[in-house]
Amino acid sequence: MAEWDELDDGLLSASCADEPCGTMTLLPVPEAVSRARRWFRFFLEPHKPTCSMDDCVLVISELVTNAIVHGEAEEGMRVHLLWRREGTDLHVEVHNPGAPEKVGQRPHAEESEHGRGLWLVDMLTDSWHAGPGDHGGTVVSFVMAGTWPK
């Protein structure tokens, strides 16, 4: 597995010895969402997670899309995606330069095409959190518990 691979819209790292983990930096372009999905599948599937890969990929799609749409930066905006194994759990984080107080579930009309992202995150994950990132901006994270045996 390559330590760093250059992508058209960012950099990818997946070097954590035998532990499943990785990071990806994305430019805020629509293609970034599909790249994040492909990257996550490619690097996680060999570790044989027991969680639904489709659920994980859907949640990542929602969070990366939200980060691109709602992230705010004067210049050089990037979205950072990282994932790691902690015990038997899968932890995934999406960072963007937006304001953390803007993150939250909002009511949506049934016929609306928007507003269901965090509702899906809540339904498909064991837990999720949104708040300020360690270096400013926003981090939205989720946990898929019991992804690997003990």
Report the CATH number that the domain containing residue 112 is assigned in CATH. 3.30.565.10
Domain count, the chain: 1
- Is 134 a member of any domain? yes
pLDDT of residue 68: 86
Burial of 15 (0-12, 13-18, 19+ CB in 10 A): exposed
Domain that holds residue 78: 4-144
With H, G, I as helix, E, B as strand and everything else as coil, classify residue 16: strand
Percentage above 70 pLDDT, the chain: 73
What amino acid is encoded at 35 in this protein?
R
* DSSP output for 52-95: -HHHHHHHHHHHHHHHHHH---SS---EEEEEEEETTEEEEEEE
- Is 8 a member of any domain? yes
- Is 37 a member of any domain? yes
Any idea what the Cα angle at residue 100 is, between residues 88 and 133, rounded to 5°? 50
Confidence label for 2 from pLDDT (cuts 50, 70 and 90)? very low
pLDDT of residue 72: 75
Q: Is the pLDDT of residue 118 over 80?
A: yes
- Is 150 a member of any domain? no
- Is 16 a member of any domain? yes
